[in-house]
Chains A and B, each alone.
Chain A
């Protein structure tokens, strides 16, 4: 049986840890980030924008590939109906495009939920998805729309917000991952 050394009784209390050591260690260069924004719900678009703006702020090359339900969030806020045929128009009618018109996945309650979330955010000084999008664009985050979804939803480049990148496809996403971008699927 091995004896366990008893801790000395009269040990002085350890000095409190300083809250953050000034950084002198070798810098860690994080790899590029690729966020695939697939969902269009308010909370997921919010998460995308928080991570994208922070990525850019941290000096990390950050790209957001916008596809499927994510795409209507990148249509200009003032657009009401998009699409060329009745099905595409119906889709935009049922789900209002624009980053300021996102719905919550839970507790939407005909818009009461997003309204309450918005007023809580203002009360606690949380930047809105729109403000974060503007900050992200200012810091050079690249937003790449999915060409296939744009075609399927009948979205034209002029429907989209300013500063969107060239539309691309799945091969671009896989290519970037192959080059070492850390992927996030939101």
Chain B
């Protein structure tokens, strides 16, 4: 894991199915200022590829993507 990043906002998308983790993330992202960091936790296995694609499309930087096997965690810095 990379050095700890300060988290400004969190989204709990555990239990939610596609596309709600991405939708909730996008909505939370709107509230943040450029440079702020959002942490998302999700249980949808599709989220791994979806967050990579979402980050590529929106230009928000995916700082961390890891998993303990059941929960996926993404840390994103707003563009």
Residues of A within 8 A of B (CB): 18-25, 27-30, 50, 53-54, 56-60, 124-127, 132, 135, 138-139
Contact = CB atoms under 8 A, between A and B. Distances in A.
Interface string B35-79: 000000000000011011111111101111111000000000000
A139 B18 CA distance: 16
B18 A20 contact: no
Nearest to B75: A22
B27 interface: yes
Contact of A27 (B48, B57, B67): B57
Contact of A50 (B19, B27, B64): B19
The 4 tightest CB contacts between A and B, nearest first, are: A57-B26, A20-B65, A27-B59, A54-B19
Given A58-B58, A138-B27, 16 more contacts: A19-B65, A20-B51, A23-B55, A25-B56, A27-B56, A29-B57, A30-B57, A53-B23, A59-B57, A59-B58, A125-B20, A127-B19, A127-B23, A132-B23, A135-B23, A139-B23
B23 A22 contact: no
Given A30-B57, A58-B57, A20 B48 contact: yes
Nearest to B49: A20
Nearest to B74: A20
Contacts of B25: 57
A138 B31 CA distance: 13
A22 B57 contact: no
Contacts of A132: 19, 23
Contacts of A57: 19, 22-23, 25-27, 54
Interface of B: 15-20, 22-23, 25-27, 48-49, 51-59, 61-67
A139 B57 contact: no
A56 B20 contact: no
Contact of A28 (B15, B57, B62, B64): B57
A19 B48 CA distance: 7
A24 B61 contact: yes
Q: Which of A28, A59, A124 has the most CB of B within 10 A?
A: A59
A124 B23 contact: no
A60 B23 CA distance: 13
Contact of A125 (B15, B52, B59, B64): B15
Q: Which of B15, B22, B23, B51 has the most CB of A within 10 A?
A: B23
A127 B17 CA distance: 7
Q: Which of A20, A56, A58 has the most CB of B within 10 A?
A: A20
